[in-house]
Amino acid sequence: MAELSQIIDDFAFLDEWEDRYRYVIELGKALPDLPEEQKSAENKVQGCASQVWLVSHVKDASADPVMTFEGDSDAHIVRGLVAIVLATYSGKHASEIVATDAIDIFNQIGLVEHLSSQRANGLRSMVKRIREEARLKAAA
C-alpha cells in the first residue's frame, strides 16, 4: 500500500482530473483484497452507494492503541478512495486518528470537488466510522 506522503506528492504532479482519476483507480488496484469472510454486514460501511467494508485491528492494549485497518469496495474508484483513507489512518495511535480528518487531506489533493455527492457522502461515512472506532478504543 502507498504511503500517504507519496500519494500527496503524486497528486501534486497530476494537473488533469482524468490523470488523478486514473491514479485513484491504480491505488485501488494495489489495495490487498479483503477476504470474502470479512465482507460481512458487520464490516459494511453504511451510507455508501457502493459496497464498502472496513475492518479495524488494535495492535496493543494500551490506553492509546495503534490501530490498523483493512478495506475493500466493489467499485474501482471507491476502492481507490478506501486506499487513501487507509493510508491516512492505518498504523496510527487512536488519539491521532480521532484528531485527523481525512476529508482535509482529500481537499488538499483536490479530490473532494470532483466526487459525486454520493461518493463524497460515502467517503464521509468511511471517515466517520474509522474515527468513531478510534474514539471508542482511546476511551476504553
- Catalytic (active-site) positions: 48
For residue 23, give the C-alpha cell: 491514479
Backbone dihedral angles phi then psi of residue 86, each to the nearest 5 degrees: -65, -40
Q: Using CB atoms within 10 Å of the CB of residue 50, give its burial: 0 to 12 exposed, 13 to 18 middle, 19+ buried.
A: middle
Give dist(CA 135, CA 75) in Å, integer: 28
Q: Check if the beta carbon of residue 89 is closer than 8 Å to that of residue 69.
A: yes
